[in-house]
C-alpha cells in the first residue's frame, strides 16, 4: 500500500511541477507580449486616426511600399512567409527568427498609416509567435516547449488586440492542425491569453463588442435563411482564398521585382480609392463593420474589400487577412439580410463568423469569437452559420502551412495542407 501511495504521490508532484512551470512561463509570455501588443495597438490607432484626418496621405502609399521592401532587404529577411512561418515553426518545419517581430510591427503600421487594405491579426500572430519563440530560446527550452511558447505568444497577442481571450486561447491551438489540437498547450495558452487581455484592458485597450439588433426567435424559416447565408459565405471564403493566392502568383509571374510589384500595387490602391470616391476600403475597415452590424451597408462593399485586400497583401504590404474577412462577411451578411427579409444585423454577425470560419478552418474559435463579440442571444444562428460554412468551404484556407488532419466529410485521416 505505501508503494502505491508513493507512486501516485510522485505522479501528483510531477504534474504539479509541470503546472507551476507553465504558470510561470505563460505569465511572463502574456505580460511581455501584452506590452508589445498594447504598444502596437496604440501605434495602429494613431495611424488610423491620422489617415482618417489627413486623407491625402494615401498618395504616398506606393512610396511607403518601397520603404517596407527596403526594410526587409536591409535586414536580409528573405523567408517572408508571414503567419505561415509561425505555423511551420509549430510543426517543427522551420525556425522563427526574432527579427520578424520589429519588421512586422513597423511594416504593418506603415501599411495602415498610408491606406493599404489589411488587418492587424497577421502582425499580432507573428509578433506574439516570434516573441514566444525568443523567450523559449532565452529560457533554454527544448523544441517541444518552445512550440508551446509560440502558441502562448500567439494567444496573448490575439487576445490583447481583439479583446477575445477565450477565442484567442483556442485559436492558436486550433489553427495549426485542423482536427487535432495541442492540448498540452491549453493551460499555457489560457493563462497567457487572460493575462494579456486583462493587462490590455487595464491600459485602456478594449476589444470590439457589437450589439446585434432584432434577433428573431429561433424557428424553421429564419434557420433556413441563415443556412443559405452560410452556404454563400462558404463560397465567398473559397473565392477570397483563391483570389489571394492567385493574385500572389500573378504578381510573382509578371512583376518579379519586389520594389516594382509593391509600387504598382500602391498605385492601384490609390487609383481605386479615387475612382470609388470613398476610403471605406483602406485600412482595416472597423467603422464599416460597425455599420453593417447596425444593419447598413453598400451593395458591393464585400467585393471591393476583397479586391483592395488581395492587391495590398499579396504585393508585399503587411497586415493580416482576418479583419478583412470580418469586413467581407459582415457586409455580405448585411446585404443578404436586406434581400432575404431577415434581420440584417443578425445576418451581418452570422456572416462575419461564417466567413472567418471558412478562411481559417477553425469552427470552435469562430463560435467563441461570435459569442464574445455579439453575446449569446443569437447562439443557434451562429452555430448553424459556422457549422455549415466549415463543411462547405472545403480544404481551402488563408494559410497553406495549415494542416487538415481529419476529413471534413468522413471520419477518416487525410493529413493534407490547406489549399491555396
Task: Tell me, yes or no, whether 31 and 89 share the same domain.
Answer: yes
Task: Tell me, yes or no, whether 241 and 314 share the same domain.
Answer: yes
Question: Is residue 346 within 8 Å of 330, Cβ to Cβ?
Answer: no
Do the domain assignments include residue 292? yes
What total of structural domains would you count in the chain? Answer: 2
Do the domain assignments include residue 408? yes
Task: Tell me, yes or no, whether 147 and 244 share the same domain.
Answer: no
Which of the listed residues 169, 202, 235 is the one where a domain comes to its end? 202
- Cα–Cα distance between 411 and 379 in angstroms, integer? 26
The side-by-side arrangement of strands in the sheet containing 177-178 is: 177-178, 403-406, 413-417
Do the domain assignments include residue 212? no
Task: Tell me, yes or no, whether 282 and 197 share the same domain.
Answer: no
Which of the listed residues 167, 202, 237 is the one where a domain comes to its end? 202
| Residue showing cell 479583419 | 323
Task: Tell me, yes or no, whether 184 and 250 share the same domain.
Answer: no
pLDDT at residue number 196: 94
Task: Tell me, yes or no, whether 10 and 95 share the same domain.
Answer: yes
Strands 177-178 and 413-417: unpaired
Task: Tell me, yes or no, whether 275 and 324 share the same domain.
Answer: yes
- The domain of 407 spans 220-417
Task: Tell me, yes or no, whether 194 and 298 share the same domain.
Answer: no
Question: Is residue 195 within 8 Å of 27, Cβ to Cβ?
Answer: yes
- pTM for this predicted structure: 0.93
Task: Tell me, yes or no, whether 239 and 282 share the same domain.
Answer: yes
Question: Is residue 355 within 8 Å of 240, Cβ to Cβ?
Answer: yes
CATH at 173 = 1.10.3080.10
Task: Tell me, yes or no, whether 261 and 400 share the same domain.
Answer: yes
Question: Is residue 158 within 8 Å of 193, Cβ to Cβ?
Answer: yes
> In three state form, how does the secondary structure of the chain look?
CHHHHHHHHHHHHHHHHHHHHHHHHHHHHHHHHHHHHHHHHHHHHHHHHHHHHCHHHHHHHHHHHHHHHHHHHHCCCCCCCCHHHHHHHHCCCCCCCCCHHHHHHHHHHHHHHCCCCCCCHHHHHHHHHHHHHHHHHHCCCCHHHHHHHHHHHHHHHHHHHHCCHHHHHHHHHHCCEECCCCHHHHHHHHHHHHHHHHHHHHCCCCCCCCCCCCCCCCCHHHHHHHHHHHHHHHHHHHHHHHHHHHHHHHHHHHCCCHHHHHHHHHHHHHHHHHHHCCCCCCCCCHHHHHHHHCCCCCCCHHHHHHHHHHHHHHHCCCCCCHHHHHHHHHHHHHHHHHHHCCCHHHHHHHHHHHHHHHHHCCHHHHHHHHHHHHCCCCHHHHHHHHHHHHHHCCCECCCCCCEEEECCCCCCEEEEECEC
Task: Tell me, yes or no, whether 182 and 251 share the same domain.
Answer: no
Do the domain assignments include residue 209? no
Do the domain assignments include residue 7? yes
Task: Tell me, yes or no, whether 339 and 407 share the same domain.
Answer: yes
Do the domain assignments include residue 211? no
What does each of the 420 residues of the chain score in pLDDT, given as a tens digit?
Answer: 577 777 777 788 888 998 999 999 999 999 999 999 999 999 999 999 999 999 899 999 999 999 999 998 888 766 566 676 777 666 666 677 777 788 889 999 999 999 999 988 778 888 888 888 889 889 888 888 888 999 999 999 999 988 899 999 999 999 988 888 888 899 999 999 999 999 998 888 877 788 898 899 999 999 999 999 999 999 999 999 999 989 988 998 899 899 999 999 999 999 999 999 999 999 999 999 999 999 999 889 999 999 999 999 999 999 888 999 999 999 999 999 999 999 999 999 999 999 999 999 999 999 999 999 999 999 999 999 999 999 999 999 888 888 888 888 888 888 888 776
Which of the listed residues 175, 202, 229 is the one where a domain comes to its end? 202
Retrieve residue 288's grid coordinates: 464599416
Amino acid at each position: 500500500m505505501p508503494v502505491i501511495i508513493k507512486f501516485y504521490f510522485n505522479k501528483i508532484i510531477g504534474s504539479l511541477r509541470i503546472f507551476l512551470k507553465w504558470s510561470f512561463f505563460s505569465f511572463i509570455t502574456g505580460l511581455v507580449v501584452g506590452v508589445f501588443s498594447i504598444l502596437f495597438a496604440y501605434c495602429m490607432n494613431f495611424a488610423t486616426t491620422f489617415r482618417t484626418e489627413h486623407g491625402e496621405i494615401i498618395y504616398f502609399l506606393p512610396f511607403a511600399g518601397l520603404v517596407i521592401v527596403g526594410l526587409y532587404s536591409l535586414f536580409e529577411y528573405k523567408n517572408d512567409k508571414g503567419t505561415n512561418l509561425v505555423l511551420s515553426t509549430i510543426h517543427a518545419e522551420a525556425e522563427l527568427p526574432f527579427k520578424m517581430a520589429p519588421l512586422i510591427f513597423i511594416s504593418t503600421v506603415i501599411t495602415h498609416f498610408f491606406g493599404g487594405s489589411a488587418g492587424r491579426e497577421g502582425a499580432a500572430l507573428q509578433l506574439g509567435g516570434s516573441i514566444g519563440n525568443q523567450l523559449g530560446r532565452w529560457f533554454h527550452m527544448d523544441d517541444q516547449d518552445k512550440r508551446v511558447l509560440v502558441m502562448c505568444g500567439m494567444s496573448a497577442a490575439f487576445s490583447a488586440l481583439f479583446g477575445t481571450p477565450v477565442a484567442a486561447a483556442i485559436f492558436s491551438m486550433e489553427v495549426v492542425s485542423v482536427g487535432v489540437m495541442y492540448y498540452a498547450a491549453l493551460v499555457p495558452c489560457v493563462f497567457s491569453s487572460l493575462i494579456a487581455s486583462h493587462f490590455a484592458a487595464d491600459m485602456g485597450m478594449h476589444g470590439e463588442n457589437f450589439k446585434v439588433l432584432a434577433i428573431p426567435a429561433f424557428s424553421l424559416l429564419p434557420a433556413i435563411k441563415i443556412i443559405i447565408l452560410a452556404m454563400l459565405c462558404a463560397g465567398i471564403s473559397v473565392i477570397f482564398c483563391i483570389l489571394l493566392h492567385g493574385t500572389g502568383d500573378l504578381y510573382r509571374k509578371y512583376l518579379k521585382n519586389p520594389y516594382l510589384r509593391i509600387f504598382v500595387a500602391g498605385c492601384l490602391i490609390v487609383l481605386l480609392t479615387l475612382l470609388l470616391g470613398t476610403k471605406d476600403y483602406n485600412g482595416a475597415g472597423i467603422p464599416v463593420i460597425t455599420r453593417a452590424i447596425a444593419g447598413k451597408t453598400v451593395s458591393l462593399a464585400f467585393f471591393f474589400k476583397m479586391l483592395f485586400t488581395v492587391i495590398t497583401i499579396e504585393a508585399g504590404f503587411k497586415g493580416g487577412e482576418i479583419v478583412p474577412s470580418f469586413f467581407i462577411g459582415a457586409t455580405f451578411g448585411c446585404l443578404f439580410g436586406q434581400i432575404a427579409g431577415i434581420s440584417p444585423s443578425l445576418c451581418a454577425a452570422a456572416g462575419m463568423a461564417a466567413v472567418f470560419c471558412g478562411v481559417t478552418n477553425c469552427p470552435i474559435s469562430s463560435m467563441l469569437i461570435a459569442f464574445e463579440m455579439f453575446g449569446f442571444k443569437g447562439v443557434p444562428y451562429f452555430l448553424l452559420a459556422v457549422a455549415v460554412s466549415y463543411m462547405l468551404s472545403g480544404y481551402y484556407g488563408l494559410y497553406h502551412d495549415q494542416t487538415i488532419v481529419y476529413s471534413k466529410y468522413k471520419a477518416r485521416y487525410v493529413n493534407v495542407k490547406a489549399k491555396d
